[in-house]
Structures are given as C-alpha cells and as structure tokens.
Chains A and B, each alone.
Chain A
Amino acid sequence: MTADTHAGGGEPGTAARPGPRAAFRRWRSRRPFWGGLLLTLGGAEILLTEKASLKVVLHIGMQGLAGYLLPALMVLCGLLTLFNPAQRLFYSLTGILLSLGTWLTSNLGGFFLGLLLGATGSCLAFGWLPDQESRRARRRRRRQQRAARTVHETRSPVDAEPV
C-alpha cells in the first residue's frame, strides 16, 4: 500500500512507509475527518461559552437544559462521524440541525463561531465519499471526456458521460 498525497496533504510524495504518521493518514483517509473534527470543535466551543451552573439550568427548565443538550449532541455527532463514518449521513444531518438550533438555545450559537464550525463540519461530512480519485485526476478525466465528445459528435452524449 502506498501513501502518496500529492493532492491532499501537501507533503512530498513518498512511497509506502510505516510509522504513526502514515498510519494516522490512512486512518484519516477512511473517514470524513475534517467534517467530524469541525463539528466536534464547534460543539465544544459552544459548551465553553456556557457557564450557567447546573442549579440555574435546572431552575430554568427544559430551555436551560437545551442550551447544554444541543452542543453536547453536536460533540457526540462529531465524534461518531469520526469513529463510525458509515452512519455519516445521519450524523451530519443531525449535526446541521443541532448547529442551527444552537443559535436559539446557546448564546447565539457560541457567538456564531461554534455554529459556523458545526455547520461547516456537517456539510463536509455530508459531502464526503469514500474511495475517490484525486480532484486533479477527475478534472483531467472530465476534460478528456469532453474532448472525446466533441470529436465523436455522432455518439449520444449519454455515452460520453461518466456512468
């Protein structure tokens, strides 16, 4: 197995190498890493802006509890996105709803910062797909197909599309 990352990492391409860094990169490439991380950080940031004591929260009732509940669930969704990426669609959809909900329940979404992180993370997790070729290769392939289509004008356009 090689671990070359021309497109993603920005490090010079190297052949397969052992070690924790390469292992971490392989682990990262199998899950929506940035999506899950940003969602987790967003929830944590919102939690950090909240300092109401438990007594007060219980006194206010459900609305006070929601202020803690939503960001806590955001953290949970982010972590689950990282450690159970198979269910990422559910986590990202729940994550975006929770992120938007914190605007109402938790200090304007942790003064907007946590909301932004959570929403970005959810979108990244939602848009992530496993086992993709690099962006550059995809673009190149598309260009070639477009060129091929213009050459073979008699062919139907459906044939030229990626199926």
Chain B
Amino acid sequence: MASSSDLTPSADHTPDHPESAAAGEPVAGDGTERRGRVRLRRAAVMAVPATLVAAGLAVLTAQGALGVQFAISGMPFTVTATELNGTGFEQFGALDNMAEDSPNAGDTGGQVLVVTSAIKNATLTKLCQSVDLGGTNLLITAGSGANKVQATDLTTDSTELSGDAAFNKIEIGNDASTLTKAGVQGPKGVFSQQADTVRIANLRQTNYATTAGVFKLPGLKLRFSDTGC
C-alpha cells in the first residue's frame, strides 16, 4: 500500500513528526538520523527476478542445455572420468609460468613443466573434478546419467595423466609448432604427438594450470567434500 513512498526520499512527508523535528537537515539526533538507506521493498524489485534467472540458469546448466565455460586453475586440481572419447588430439610439453612472487612457487623458480593435451571435441562419462582448498575439497561431478559431458577445444596442462588409452592414426615425434589436429600449436623444437581420435578409459589427470573451452555439463552437482575425486 505504502509503496509509493519508496520512490521518493521520505523527507517530504515527515516534518510534522515529533522525532524528526529537524527534518529539513540531513541528519537529526535520537535514532532518526537521516541518511541513505536500502529500502527492502525496492531491493526486492530486483532481487526476485534475479533469483529466478539465477535458478533458471542453474537448472538449464544441470540439464545440459547451457554450455558453461571454465578457465580455472593455478592451484593443482584433479579431473577424473571413467571414459573419454575425443576427435582431434594433440599433446606436447610446455612450461607454465606462475605469477611473479607466487606463494606456490617454492624452489621451482615459478616454472612448472607440464604436458599440454588439446582435444577438439571430447565426450566424457562421469566427469569428476576436485580442487583441494586446504581441509576441504570443492567437488564438481557431471555426466553420470544418460547424457554425457561434452567439451570443445579442451586444453589441459597436466603434470600427471593416467588411464588406458587407444589412439587412431597417431603421429609421434612431430615438432610441436606443426600440429594440426586440434588447432593448437606448441613452441618450436618441442616433442609432440597427435592423433585423429583418442579414447581413454579410467582417465585421471592432475592439472597444474588447466584451461578449457566450453563445457556442457548434464547432471551437474557442485558441493564441498572431505575427499577429492
């Protein structure tokens, strides 16, 4: 009923109030100081639709209808999947640089040797990703139902990679700058390999500085957990 007063400073209609006798001034004593405040009803005008949109985004993402982009890492984190199928596979060694004076640098001089794997189109079953936050793990799982996780231009910089792999039309020993299968090139003079298709069962990666393209994550679950993947 009184919502009309939300739109105007309430200075206009209180001069007769005993508590705000000094209403003409910006502030008055005794708990009725006049200052900028958040009007809850007004805030709700934005909060309610925003909540609905956020919920809609979460639902659409969980159903796999929306692609979600990840560009995380810097801290090591683990990715596992029971099966990875991909077309357009490249792999080469690279050196990742940490930020200057990074607390994670230790005695490495701020550089970490990594294996960069790039996959043009990848399908993952039962994807699990965990980040160790110290004491607790941020756990993301997806693709355990009928719909699988799909990714394009997936690029991971790993320090460890394990699984049962099968490659089709693999070329080993290319120069990393001449790779063509996934559209990513490494530095000149670095060993590399590429293949038309790749299939890795029981995939497990420890990624130091992973970057990735676009993910579709059906059945997404994000939670904190005591144990990682």
Contacts and interface: CB of A to CB of B under 8 A. Distances in A.
A53 B94 CA distance: 13
A152 to B, nearest CB: 16
Contacts of B12: 163
B30 interface: yes
Contacts of B66: 104
A131 B70 CA distance: 43
A8 B27 CA distance: 13
A67 B9 contact: no
Nearest to A57: B71
Q: Name the residue in B12, B37, B50, B51 with the highest tally of chain A Cβ atoms < 10 Å from its Cβ.
A: B37
Q: Name the residue in B43, B47, B58, B153 with the highest tally of chain A Cβ atoms < 10 Å from its Cβ.
A: B43
Contacts, number: 195
Interface stretch (B83-91, B158-166, B209-217): B209-217
B36 A29 contact: yes
A29 B26 CA distance: 10
Interface in A93-111: 93, 96, 99-100, 103-108, 111
Name the interface size band of chain B.
Answer: 35 or more
Interface residues of A, number: 67
A63 B153 CA distance: 12
Given A29-B35, A131-B26, A132-B10, 7 more contacts: A32-B36, A52-B72, A63-B214, A123-B44, A128-B38, A131-B34, A161-B2
16 contacts: A2-B28, A2-B33, A4-B31, A6-B31, A32-B36, A52-B73, A67-B71, A92-B46, A93-B46, A107-B71, A108-B222, A122-B50, A129-B39, A130-B9, A133-B14, A137-B17
